[in-house]
Amino acid sequence: MDPPPLSLNQLSALLEAAPSPDDLYTSLSDYEEQACLLASQPDEVELLVDFYTAFFFSHLLTDQIHEARALTRRIPRDLLQTDSLQTCTLLLRAIWQRKHTEIYKILRELPWPERSRPVVQSYESYFQKKTLKEVSNSYEAIRPAAAASYLGLNANLAEQGDTAIIQKFTACGWRWDGETQLLHPKPIVTAPPKEHNLQNELSRVMALISNHGR
Amino acid sequence: MSDFLGRLSSVPSRPHDPDNISAERYDRQLRDLISYLKQPGVASSTSDYSDFFEIVSPSVHSLSFLFLLRFQIQLVQKRTKRDIPQNLHPGGDLWKQVVRFLRSFDPIQIRYAGYEWRQLVEVVASAAQAISKPALAVKVIADALGRLNTSGMFTSVHLTLVKLALLSSSYTHTLPIMDKVLCNFPTDTNHVHHETFLCSEHGSSAAFITDTSGFSTKLTYRDHLQFYLYSAMIYMALKRWDHASHCLSVVISSPTANSVSKIMVEAYKKWVLASLLGYGKLPPTSRMIAPHVTRVYQSLARPYVSLAEAFEKADLQKMSAEVDLGQSIWRDDKNTGLVSQLFEAYDKFMIIKLGRTFSALTIADVLQRAPSYFKDHYDTEEFVASLVMSDTLRATLSHLPGTESTTMLRFCLSTQFHAFREEHIRTRLMRGKSALNTIAKGIVQTDQTLELSDENLHFIARSQKWNGDPEKSGAVGSGEAGVGGDIDEDLMGDGH
């Protein structure tokens, strides 16, 4: 079934409904055709900028960084020059280069369209959680300033041993060693994703054997 | 008019048929309907078909709807004298009906109108390209192909899809189609078993996608190579190097008569780069590539081979020189983007390689032992941390106490990392189970393809015996012994 016509109200309703990242991506993906057709209409710039900003973030929220990059190539060039989509491009570059401090700075300090703010905040929270897991599993011991930078907290305060910041880490199960002034993260173990690829790989091998045996 | 409508709605799709008729009868009904719709006079029985689009359901009366679309398109083309009239452009009334159909058609009914179905898909592709928005056709065509379920059959529509996806940088919707194994071509109608009807359940799409079914244009060798080259390019854009290498391997290991084609050489160049980016080395080329063909590739892609040699020997200076020297070559081959990623890949694999020698070392040691384009200690630590955090490098980092910013990198043994976690052991068991299932299925399929089933071998043995020519028949038909023994004997015979 075709989605209702894309409009600012429709987009707002969709974003305010706060669907899961996957649902948000699917819904916005269904609207891409309409957006593409509206692209030639100059009075729809606001709608399109808001749509593409939200769609861009739905890629990030579903960890589709390469596809997000591909999206920036599909967005009409004149729209890409708008502030919001320029900021998206900056953010993508920072994520690509894993510049954590820059990522938080872009998310928090650069202007975002009012309608996109919920999705920007969702991404900030998602990115923070994702990074917390990555740091927890990668570091055996970490200086508070480095940990704070990764999680978008005040690195200067952390370096001075600010109790509030240290408490944020200990609340996640990390251990604070006052003597060495180091934090000891607690690994976050999650069930590994199911290996759908393996099935494909083997099917591929069997198909090749089957074909080349002819 | 009412008679026409009556005929259009005479054969509903099977889930909507209250009578639950037999496959034979349903097949006959669909063939009758097709014959009716293809009659020369039908198309001109009314002047405009657009009213029917609201009456006839594309999912219930798919065949009729498909022909209505054809009639309407032909009508508008005739009226406007344009191949792609305005209302067939994306967003137009006719475009909307075409999209509606391609997203809801009944795949069983459509088996009877492969040619018409493909023509409609091609119209969608042309219409989207006509307004320079190929992205608009990608999802529609991918959905239509998924709906048809070609199950492993390569068609010209697959090639159209990847071309459009590449043109428009719309990769996501294409992946479900590309990720499927395509290992069959539409075969000669004579080889298709006719015991069942087109509308019956078929284990393989080979029963309804044949060289005469119309679902594909006549495929050429070039089409096949292009499909895999374009697919590889899409995978490379998404940095799925293993898939890209596989697709490129298919191209470069394709059979050759006398010389390799340009596409194959292009694929070889990209294969060299994709292998370096994905694995940090050039894996041995497939055994299916004749040694002289490999030599031809190597001589035609000399700058790439030199670059790969420098990469593999960890000679950063030589690699940089090769990259600079070949700028115009990479540009002409449209491989500049891939080449520019080599430096980061070089650093990545250099650090991964350190784990084979050392169990732990400081970041300062990493910087010393893995010379790279990193400027300083900070850059190196940032890069190493990104590798560890993204799970590319199985290691852990530890900041050491003290004021100086020393960081220790500890490489994990692969067993140390996962083996003792219950979840992982469980997953590994599940993987083993599903691997065995897939292999078992594959063996049955391979036996069928190679015609190695017991029944077939018995049949061959018997028919050769009837021919009364035991000399010619070889060991298979040479005696009363069991089938397996005969084959062994034959193989031994060949060995002498």
* pLDDT tens-digit map of B20-62: 788 888 999 999 999 999 888 777 655 688 888 888 999 999 9
Contacts of A2 in chain B (CB under 8 A): 100
d(CA A156, CA A174): 20
d(CA A160, CA A153): 13
d(CA B397, CA A137): 9
CB-based contact B134:A73 (threshold 8 Å): no
pLDDT at B160 over 90: yes
d(CA A205, CA A195): 16
Range(s) of the domain holding residue B136: 2-219
pLDDT of residue B277: 97
d(CA A36, CA A17): 24
Residue of B233, B225, B324 whose CA lies nearest to B271: B233
pLDDT at B430 over 80: no
pLDDT at A203 over 60: yes
In this complex, how many residue pairs, one in chain A and one in chain B, have their CB atoms less than 8 Å apart? 131
Does one domain contain both B373 and B266? no
In a domain, B294, yes or no: yes
**B450·A210 Cβ contact <8 A:** yes
Q: CA geometry: angle at B483 spanning B481 and B486, to 5°?
A: 65
pLDDT at B4 over 90: no
CB-based contact B216:B157 (threshold 8 Å): yes
- On whether any CB of chain B is under 8 Å from the CB of A207, the answer is yes
Contacts of B397 in chain A (CB under 8 A): 138-140, 142
pLDDT of residue B235: 97
- All structural domains of chain A with their residue ranges: 1-115, 139-214
- On whether any CB of chain B is under 8 Å from the CB of A36, the answer is yes
pLDDT of residue B487: 34
Of B100, B397, B446, the CB nearest to A138: B397
Does one domain contain both B153 and B134? yes
Long-range contacts of A83-92 (CB under 8 A, 24+ apart): A83/A111, A84/A49, A84/A50, A84/A53, A84/A111, A84/A112, A84/A113, A84/A116, A85/A49, A85/A52, A85/A53, A85/A56, A87/A111, A87/A112, A88/A52, A88/A53, A88/A56, A88/A57, A91/A60, A92/A56, A92/A65, A92/A68
Predicted-complex ipTM score = 0.86
Per-residue pLDDT of A107-157, as tens digits, reads: 999 999 989 999 999 999 999 999 999 999 999 999 999 999 999 999 999
pLDDT of residue A74: 94
Q: Please give the C-alpha separations between residue A137 and each of A45, A141, B394, in angstroms, as whole numbers.
A: 43, 11, 10
Of A74, A141, A203, the CB nearest to B398: A141
Shortest CA gap A54–chain B (Å): 17
Tokens found for residue B405: 């910013």
d(CA B262, CA B274): 18
* Lowest mean pLDDT, pick from A65-74, B121-130, B350-359, B487-496: B487-496
Mutate to test the interface with A, among B169, B392, B399, B438 (most CBs of A within 10 A): B399
By percentage, how much of chain B surpasses pLDDT 70? 83
Contacts of B443 in chain A (CB under 8 A): 206
Does one domain contain both B107 and B94? yes
With cut-offs at 50, 70 and 90, classify the pLDDT of residue A192.
low
Shortest CA gap A178–chain B (Å): 11
- On whether any CB of chain B is under 8 Å from the CB of A192, the answer is yes
Which tops the pLDDT comparison, A16 or A103? A103
Tokens found for residue B305: 């081979």
Does one domain contain both B315 and B396? no
Mutate to test the interface with B, among A131, A151, A203 (most CBs of B within 10 A): A203
- Give me the DSSP letters along B227-252: HHHHHHHHHHHTT-HHHHHHHHHHHH
Residue of A122, A132, A68, A71 whose CA lies nearest to A100: A132
In a domain, B310, yes or no: yes
In a domain, B119, yes or no: yes
Mean of pLDDT values over A82-94: 96
Does one domain contain both B85 and B151? yes
Mutate to test the interface with A, among B181, B434, B447 (most CBs of A within 10 A): B181
Q: DSSP 3-state assignment of B187?
A: strand
Per-residue pLDDT of B59-98, as tens digits, reads: 999 999 999 999 999 999 988 999 999 999 999 999 999 9
- What is the 3 state secondary structure string of B308-352? HHHHHCCCHHHHHHHHHHCHHHHHHCCCHHHHHCHHHHHHHHHHH
d(CA B202, CA B253): 31
Of A70, A146, A179, the CB nearest to B237: A70
Mutate to test the interface with A, among B389, B398, B430 (most CBs of A within 10 A): B389
Contacts of B435 in chain A (CB under 8 A): 198, 202
Does one domain contain both B285 and B243? yes
In a domain, B483, yes or no: no
Of B401, B427, B446, the CB nearest to A192: B427
Tokens found for residue B162: 């990847």
d(CA A206, CA B446): 7
d(CA A134, CA A190): 12
d(CA A82, CA A182): 44
Which tops the pLDDT comparison, B489 or A18? A18
With cut-offs at 50, 70 and 90, classify the pLDDT of residue A207.
low
- On whether any CB of chain B is under 8 Å from the CB of A65, the answer is no
* Burial (0-12, 13-18, 19+ Cβ within 10 Å), B362: middle
pLDDT at B468 over 70: no
- pTM here is 0.84
Contacts of A206 in chain B (CB under 8 A): 438-439, 441-443, 445-446
Does one domain contain both B240 and B285? yes
Tokens found for residue B434: 């599903």
Does one domain contain both B177 and B250? no
**A206·B238 Cβ contact <8 A:** no
Task: Mark out the alpha helices in A17-143 (DSSP H runs).
Answer: 21-38, 45-61, 65-74, 77-80, 83-96, 100-109, 117-138
Of B181, B405, B443, the CB nearest to A204: B181
pLDDT of residue B477: 35
Per-residue pLDDT of B194-213, as tens digits, reads: 567 888 877 677 778 888 88
Q: Please give the C-alpha separations between residue B31 and each of B26, B27, B63, B69, B111, in angstroms, as whole numbers.
A: 9, 6, 10, 19, 11
In a domain, B424, yes or no: yes
d(CA B382, CA B458): 66
The domain tally of chain B equals 4
pLDDT of residue B181: 78
Does one domain contain both B408 and B421? no
Host H or E run for residue B166: helix B156-168
Per-residue pLDDT of B198-253, as tens digits, reads: 888 776 777 788 888 899 999 999 999 999 999 999 999 999 999 999 999 999 99
By percentage, how much of chain A surpasses pLDDT 90? 75
Supply the mean pLDDT for chain B: 84
In a domain, B292, yes or no: yes
Tokens found for residue A90: 């900056």
pLDDT of residue B180: 83
Mean of pLDDT values over B375-392: 88
Does one domain contain both B407 and B420? no
Shortest CA gap A141–chain B (Å): 5
**B168·A198 Cβ contact <8 A:** no
The 10 Å CB-count burial string (b at 16+, else e) for B219-231 is beeebbbbbbbbb
CATH code, domain with B375:
1.10.10.10
pLDDT of residue B423: 63
Strand partners, B361: B409
Decide which of B181, B198, B219 is a domain's last residue: B219
Mean of pLDDT values over A91-96: 96
